[in-house]
Structure 1
Amino acid sequence: MTRDRANAGQGPLYRLYINRLRRGLAPESVPHHVAMMIDGNRRWARQLGYQSAADGHRAGAAKMQEFLRWCDGVGVKVVSLYLLSTDNVRKRDAVELSDLNDIIAQLADEISRVPGWRIKHVGRAELLPPELLRVLREAEARTKDNTGLHVNLAVGYGGRSEIVDAVRSIIAQHDATGGSLEELAASLTPEQIGEHLYTGGQPDPDLVIRTSGEQRLSDFLLWQSAHSEFYFVEALGPDLREVDFLRAIRDYGSRDRRYGS
């Protein structure tokens, strides 16, 4: 989809359709927790002739601010945004990675100033540059007492790494009590692992959305998404429209969730 499509449909008929979709959403059918995999920023920049991938990432970050407002507007309580993976940290070009760090820092700072929203960083802090980590920690501290939309920012995040970290945390906690490995093995449960994940204490995502037409998890919330519903959008990240989002929520509400079958 091009920028023309993203800007299309802003007239009265489009707004009428948006309002119709909103009215059709029953509160009980809205997911509690939505996870978003914003994808296609670099392709978007290339298609529009931009010289730098950073232009696409900036457009994607701006779209994520819109996305959060859409979620808040329909009653979603928790949103997880996949912004920077552990693979990105290891494999992206140094210049692009530096730009990404700056863009994410700006995004975190801006959304942490929205009244009521609460921000949480999920990921490995040791992988991040000091300035980005400082901004993320300040965003968390600034919003820790807020009770509105809870926003998880997955930065330096990998699902496999998260599970490894959770198991390490359980082992360290058990070792501190003087327990044996046999006792640990006998007592270990999925619920225990869940409590030690970065998102411990939060509900698992009900709905995972991915843009750009790609249909894979890419190491995002592997444990938490075991029973999630998935919705894939053809639009590249910056071209995502509110109507695409509302259709995803409507589609989720029409599904018969059968856990484990």
Structure 2
Amino acid sequence: MAEENLKIPRHVGIIMDGNGRWAVQRGLPRYKGHEEGLKATKNTVKAVSERGIKYLSLYTFSTENWKRAQEEVSFLFGLIRKHLKKEFDFYKENGIRIVHSGDISKLPIEIQNDLKEIINDTRDFSGLILNLALNYGGRDEIIRAISRYKETKDKFPLTEDNFKNFLDVPFLPDPDLIIRTAGEKRLSNFLLWQSAYSEYYFSDVLWPDFSEKELDDALKDYAKRKRKYGGMG
């Protein structure tokens, strides 16, 4: 568990990277890495909830992931569909509310329906708010937000504060901390608008091996930082 009195971020985003490499290193097919990664995801969601973090955004499937082999994409969607509704008891037990970022219209219809259902079924849960970034890209979200603004009847000045109302989950606060695994040090189109002043933590651990210790290491590192938001230190 995290140390008592540790400065805890309100919103954490995680770029879950390294499933495929984890499998390849072990001479296994890539889908095995995704299966193990899913276990790490569930454990991390529970650990984040236990540490009092209010919001968690997980980069589940990006707009760029469509470029992968069709077999892998199909397996990923099958895995997502299998577990979206299956985990309802887990969400209920831990009070987890599901929300979604991304272009839902481009997802397979079965996943669209399951996603809408789990969002509706968990809407009154008062614990961790889990944002699934599924078919998500930061640039795509900004373009879609601009389109939504242009469709509004009442044209008011497009300020930063107003613009946020047209993002996929308007009430979601900007992420305080973004964690990326597998040693990569880039955003990969994740929460581009929201992450302007986020703190970043990069871990060499491949996602299937991400543990509570890794999470706590990231939280301890975050707690040491002084956030200035462009002001004087």
TM-score tier, shorter chain, comes to over 0.9
Task: Report the residue type matching 2:59 in the other structure.
Answer: Y
* Aligned-partner Cα distance in 2 for 1:25–1:97: 41
Q: CA offsets, 1:104-146, max 9 Å, x none?
A: 2233224443221100121101221111112111110110111
Q: Which residue of 2 aligns with 1:121?
A: 100
Q: Which residue of 2 aligns with 1:34?
A: 12
Q: Which residue of 2 aligns with 1:102?
A: 78
1:236 and 2:206 aligned: yes
Kindly indicate whether the alpha-carbon contact (under 8 Å) linking 1:105 and 1:132 is maintained by their aligned counterparts in 2: yes
Which of 151, 154, 162 aligns to 2:130? It is 151
Which of 27, 31, 34 aligns to 1:54? It is 31
Kindly indicate whether the alpha-carbon contact (under 8 Å) linking 1:206 and 1:227 is maintained by their aligned counterparts in 2: yes
Larger radius of gyration: 1
Q: Which residue of 2 aligns with 1:10?
A: none
SS in 1 for 2:81: helix
> What's the offset of the Cα at 1:68?
0.5
Task: Report the residue type matching 2:112 in the other structure.
Answer: L
1:224 and 2:185 aligned: no
> What's the offset of the Cα at 1:149?
0.7
Q: Does 211-220 or 126-135 show the bigger shift?
A: 126-135
SS in 2 for 1:224: coil
Which of 144, 151, 161 aligns to 1:191? It is 161
Kindly indicate whether the alpha-carbon contact (under 8 Å) linking 2:100 and 2:169 is maintained by their aligned counterparts in 1: no
Task: Compute the TM-score of the two structures, normalised by the length of structure 1.
Answer: 0.84
More helix by share: 1
The CA RMSD measured in Å over matched residues stands at: 1.3
Task: Report the residue type matching 1:159 in the other structure.
Answer: G
Identity %: 39
Task: Report the residue type matching 1:231 in the other structure.
Answer: Y
Residue correspondences, number:
228
1:211 and 2:181 aligned: yes
SS in 2 for 1:225: coil
Runs of 4+ deviating beyond 6 Å: none
Q: Which residue of 1 aligns with 2:139?
A: 160
Q: Can you give the 5+ residue segments of structure 2 that lack an aligned partner in the other structure?
A: none
